[in-house]
Each structure stands twice: as structure tokens, then as C-alpha cells.
Amino acid sequence: MNEKVIWDYLLSATGNEYGTAAIMGNLMAESSLNPRNATNLKKTGYATVDQYILATDDGVHDFAHDGVAFGLVQWCFRTRKEGLLNLAKATGRSVGHLQMQMEYMIGEIRTSYKTVWEAVTKATDIRTASDVVMLKYEKPATTTEAAKKKRAEYGQKFYDQFAAIRPLVVATAAVRIRSGDSTGYPQVGSLKKGQSLEWVTTSRGFHAVRMKDRIGWVSGEFSEVRYV
């Protein structure tokens, strides 16, 4: 289910539930959270999105210059679509791949939309962050009060759906907390057997946990996720 996958990924990246909800509300308005959403496909001559994506992945279609708004964000500008396609090629994934698009989006916001990144990582409410994402990142043609309200309402829906679910990562033995999802990352804390922290997401056998000032990672070999 795309909704939970996207929520978990964005929460892991931003560390902020309000910011996560704000991004998701905007993505819902743009693409209905569908990474294969393509607007104005008819102008390309392809009858289906599957054909369009396959031709792009095979390198026989000029994806960057076709004017089609595509993916979660509905990327349409040449340079941004070029970046999306380049990441897909570099990682051996389809341009319509959900995880790849989320990685590109977060990288894009972090490096090129720093005002947006600050808004979603330090958000204290959904509406304020949602407006920043809409006006500074998505930049849709319609920016009326009604449009802003609708995106924030979508965000609130996702917040209500997912933020109340707070599973814990419980240490089954003494375990180091690291700054990333492998033993190659430095230690930033530890848990004794039986201690727990709030779970955020899971990647490569490591569980992300919410610490006071950051997101940390503990090995799934010495911990487990429990709903309490």
C-alpha cells in the first residue's frame, strides 16, 4: 500500500510527523500518491502509461523534453525530469519506481529547496508546512485558499491515519544505536535489554528509532518491533 510506504519513508527522512503529513497531502493533490501518474500523455503518442514508462526506461523516448507531468511530484521541468531519469539509470530502476522517486524527491528538497526542508523538518503544524511545500516546491497553477486548505486536509487525513500508530523497537539484548542502517555508521547511543524507543521505519535489517534529537538505527538482530 503506497500510503504507508510513503509515510514511513518520509518520516524516516524528515523526523517530523507534521512535515511528513504536509508532503503527503501535497503528493495526494498532485498524483494521488501514484508514482506512475502521467498527465498529458496523449501528446507523446503512447496509448498507456506502461508503454510510456517502458520506452523511457529503454531510452527510446525523450522523457525530459516531452512536457508530461510525471510521478509522485508531477515533475515536468526538463532539468528536474533529467535528474529523475539519471537517478533511475544510475540505480538500475525504472523511472516509475516508487522508492527511487522518493529518494529523488528528498534529495531535491534537501539540496535545492532548503526553505522547504527546514519547514518540513521543523514543522509544528500541518497547514503551515503544507503551504510552504505547495508554494515553494510544488508550485501548482492554482494557489487559492481553497487549494491550500484541500492539501492541508489531505495531510491531516494521513496524520490521523498513521501518527497515532506508535510501535516500539524493544532491545532483545544490549544493542548499539547507530546514525545509519548498517554497522558502518558511528554509534550515537545504546539500548539495554528490554529498553525501547519509538519505531520509525525498517531498512536493510535495521530499525529506525526516534531519539530526542535525531533518528537512530538499531540492528534487527538484537531488537524487535512490538505494538503496545
Domains of the chain: 2-162 (1.10.530.10), 168-226 (2.30.30.40)
**Bridge partners for 197 per DSSP:** 169
Per-residue confidence (pLDDT) for residue 219, from 0 to 100: 96
Per-residue confidence (pLDDT) for residue 200, from 0 to 100: 84
pTM to 2 decimals? 0.76
Could you tell me the CA-to-CA distances from 81 to 58, 91, 101, 129, 138 in Å, in that order? 16, 16, 11, 25, 14
61 vs 77: CA distance, rounded Å: 16
Q: Which residues contact 84 (CB under 8 A, 6 or more apart)?
A: 70, 71, 75, 95, 101, 104
Task: Determine how β-strand 187-191 pairs with β-strand 223-226.
Answer: unpaired
Per-residue confidence (pLDDT) for residue 184, from 0 to 100: 95
Per-residue pLDDT of the chain (228 residues; tens, 9 = 90+): 689 899 989 988 898 999 999 999 999 999 999 999 999 998 899 999 999 999 999 999 999 999 999 999 999 999 999 999 999 999 999 999 999 999 999 999 999 999 999 999 999 999 999 999 999 999 999 999 999 999 999 999 999 998 877 789 999 999 999 999 999 999 999 999 999 998 888 888 999 999 988 999 999 999 998 866
Angle at 209 between CA 207 and CA 210, to 5 degrees: 165
21 vs 180: CA distance, rounded Å: 23
Per-residue confidence (pLDDT) for residue 228, from 0 to 100: 61
Per-residue confidence (pLDDT) for residue 164, from 0 to 100: 72
Q: Are 110 and 126 in contact (CB under 8 A)?
A: no
Q: Which residues contact 15 (CB under 8 A, 6 or more apart)?
A: 121, 200, 210, 214, 215
